[in-house]
Chains A and B, each alone.
Chain A
Amino acid sequence: MATRIHPILGAFAILVFFFLLAPLVIIVGSALSDTTFLTFPPQGLTLRWFANIFQMEAFRRTAITSLQVALLGTGLSLLIGIPAAYALNRYRVELPRWLSTLFVLPILVPEIVFGFALLKSITIGLGLPVFISLVVGHALLILPYSVRVVGASLASFDFSIEEAARSLGCPPLKTFMTVVLPNIRAGVIAAFILAFITSINDVSVSVFLTGPGISTLPIQILAHMEQFFDPTIASVSVLLMLVTVGVMAIVEATLGLTFLTK
């Protein structure tokens, strides 16, 4: 028996899908347009804007920087975030409640303010090189995701398992690596992906921290668009989308997407 759907509900659902998908269709269309300006529907079809990206040294360089910053920043945030999440859950009773709020602050503070604050504190205050500032800045920006997502899987972790391991002769650090970590693996991977994507896409923090000679891809896209309003921008966006889809496909194939939404 088919379920009857109210016509208004059906129309509403179609509208939602339209607004979700339309920008993507427009971007893909614009990226293929054989014109020197962004336009939709595309006039003529060409892949030369994709070729153009690879010919432009700035895009290549900033893409590499973005990847490095995202990988190092995410790694650093997990290195801080996993132990923090562990401590917050393990010693929930003993630790003051405001401590867990502290780790969410980067999300609560407007990103533009956070970016400016980082510029004042790390780049100017500490005088760190641009690349290091970017890595540290991104690590701080995405730390809330690491702490929260890893914390969510630790919340359902039974700490008596850890005690069982210790009673059987396993020292604390080894217990963490061989007993705790394998059981929160899904949370760690989810945190990694969320943090990585946030870092790769970040504009507002990066815009303050990039400096002479070093920039990230989103900043380069902005800079490029200010000078040339051509379909290169659209084709870079398509490539970024493909990378995201690729990551999701790998996740789906190895772990199943459901664990991200759990």
Chain B
Amino acid sequence: MTVSLTIENLVAHYGTTQVLKDLSISVAAGELVSLLGSSGCGKTTTLRLVAGFLQPTSGRIRLGDRDLTTLPAHARDIGLVFQNYALFPHLTVLDNVAFGLKQRGLAKPDRTKRAMAMLERVGLSPLADRLPAALSGGQKQRVALARALVIEPPLLMFDEPLSNLDAKLRIDMRVEIRQLQRANGTTSLYVTHDQEEAFSISDRVAIMNAGRILQLDTPEVLYQKPASAFVARFVGFENLIRMKVVERQAAIVTAEAAGGTRLHLSQDLFGPIKDDFILACRADGLAVRREGEGIPAVLGTRTYLGRAYQYKCQTAAGEITANGPLSDPLDARAGAVLTPLPEQCCILDPEN
């Protein structure tokens, strides 16, 4: 029984501070959607509203055909995985996992059987009789995952579940979470501030800022075609160059940046270009050449990245970060030309 989660026009306040501003999002049945943003953007608030730990000022939360908005937390039937694991310290691993089944009135042999089967799946059945204090961080998070999954909830929610684990374990665990979530086909909402984590685990990612969702898309689209300057900066476009169109000739647009730098951009390659736009380029999206057409620059500090050299360049349009090939190292203070590569750049509307 996979169902969808629908959040409509959610508004929430802490005291007089508005923390969510008309937030709507829909998670399809079986889909994993991440809420990604820096701290204070409202992602955890959203999760806590769905869990029922907070009450919204207005708006509706629906899970399938059930309206959760006014339901108490214990009646919502949502599996939750917490950042700090939140295991019951006084219960054994087995009793932790069986806790939700006990609340559902299952007889002891039944819940022991199901909890053991779940522990088997996360590879922890030999530790069933331990207390949480005797487990490592990764084991604790596996127990927490088993505890949330064993009740077979129609919705799973994760609140920064991997933040307290070390880097290697974090990668293993996110693969494991993804596999379990896929295998069960459980609709999931995942909160994180880690972009790599969100992109690697999710079907779609919602990038949040100041209580709003700025863009909700697949990781591929977000990474390549951000819709706004904020999202572009968030997904690692180092250079945002404000430009104005000065001339249009068929598909070729001539645009000017601050300082008079002119570029000829093809709408066939870059897509439609409005009169006023932002050219967003990753450091990899600007070819550093000794000469040719592009933005004239004076090279600054060169750093070795392993796959390329990175230069801090001074241009008439401001400081620009660009990567040049390893085959042709250039010296500081050398003159060069930076050429935008269409497949690694995108055109943004400054209004967004």
A interface residues, Cβ below 8 angstroms from B:
158, 160-161, 163-172, 175, 179, 182-183
Q: Bound complex: CA of A160 vs CA of B87, how far in Å?
A: 9
Which chain A positions have C-beta within 8 A of B84? 158, 160
Closest to A94 in B: B15
A-B contact count (CB 8 A): 63
Other-chain contact of B77, A160, A169, A179 (Cβ < 8 Å): A169
Of the candidate stretches B96-104, B174-182, B249-257, B326-334, the one touching chain A is B96-104
Q: Which of B4-12, B68-76, B188-196, B222-230 contacts A (4 or more CB under 8 A)?
A: B68-76
| B151 contacts A168, C-beta separation under 8 Å | yes
Could you tell me how many residues of chain B have their Cβ less than 8 Å away from some Cβ of chain A? Answer: 27
B103:A169 contact, CB within 8 angstroms: yes
Q: Which of chain A's residues have a CB closer than 8 A to the CB of B304?
A: none
Residue contact B74 to A169, C-beta cutoff 8 Å? yes
Instruction: List 8 additional contacts besides A168-B103, A183-B88; criterion CB under 8 Å.
Output: A160-B84, A164-B80, A164-B147, A167-B73, A167-B79, A167-B148, A169-B75, A172-B74
Q: Using Cβ atoms and an 8 Å threshold, which residues of chain A touch B168?
A: none
Q: Which residue of A lies closest to B76 (CB)?
A: A167
User: How many angstroms from the CA of A169 to the CA of B104 in the assembled complex?
Assistant: 7
Shortest Cβ distance from A156 into chain B, in angstroms?
A: 11
What chain A residues lie within 8 Å of B148 (beta carbons)?
167
Interface residues of B (CB under 8 A from A): 51-53, 72-80, 82, 84, 86-90, 99-100, 103-104, 144, 147-148, 151
Q: Are A168 and B99 in contact (CB under 8 A)?
A: yes
Q: Please name all residues of chain A whose beta carbon is closer than 8 Å to the beta carbon of B73 when the two chains form the complex.
A: 163, 166-167
Residues A179 and B103 in contact, CB atoms below 8 Å apart: no
B99 adjacent to A167 (CB under 8 Å): no
- Considering the complex, give the chain A residue whose CB is closest to the CB of B77: A169
Nearest CB on A from B193, distance (A): 18
Pick the contact of A163 from B86, B99, B100, B103 — CB < 8 Å?
Answer: B86
Residues of chain B with a CB closer than 8 A to A164's CB:
80, 82, 86-88, 144, 147
- Nearest Cβ in chain B — how far from A205, in angstroms? 37
Closest A residue to B78 by beta carbon equals A167
Q: A166-B73, A167-B51 are in contact. Are A183 and B104 (CB under 8 A)?
A: no
A162 to chain B: closest residue by CB: B86
Q: Give the chain A neighbours of B90 by CB distance below 8 A.
A: 182-183
Q: How far is the CB of A80 from chain B (nearest CB, A)?
A: 25
| Residue among B72, B74, B79, B100 with the highest chain A CB neighbour number at 10 A | B74
Q: Name, among A164, A168, A171, the residue most crowded by chain B CB atoms within 10 Å (CB to CB).
A: A168
A174 to nearest B CB, angstroms? 8
Q: Chain A nearest CB: distance from B104 CB in Å?
A: 6
The residues of A that contact B82 with a CB separation of less than 8 Å are: 160, 163-164
List 19 A-B residue pairs with CB atoms under 8 Å apart, sorted by A's residue number: A160-B86, A161-B86, A163-B73, A163-B80, A163-B82, A165-B88, A166-B53, A167-B80, A168-B147, A168-B151, A169-B75, A169-B77, A169-B104, A170-B74, A171-B74, A172-B74, A175-B74, A179-B88, A183-B88
Distance (whole angstroms) from the CB of A59 to the closest CB of chain B: 43
Judge whether B104 and A161 touch: CB under 8 Å: no
A71 to B198, CA, bound (A): 57
Chain B residue at smallest Cβ distance from A182: B90
Bound CA–CA A214/B87 (angstroms): 50
Nearest-neighbour CB distance to chain A for B146, whole angstroms, equals 12
Q: Which residues of B contact A182 (CB under 8 A)?
A: 90
Q: Please, which residues of chain A bring their CB within 8 A of the CB of B151?
A: 168-169
Closest CB in chain B relative to A86 CB, distance in Å? 16
- What residues of A have a CB within 8 angstroms of the CB of B100 in the complex? 168-169
> Given the complex of chains A and B, what is the CA–CA distance between A183 and B90 in angstroms?
7
Q: Which of A165, A167, A169, A171 counts the most chain B CB atoms within 10 A?
A: A167
Question: Which residues of A have CB within 8 Å of B99?
Answer: 165, 168, 170
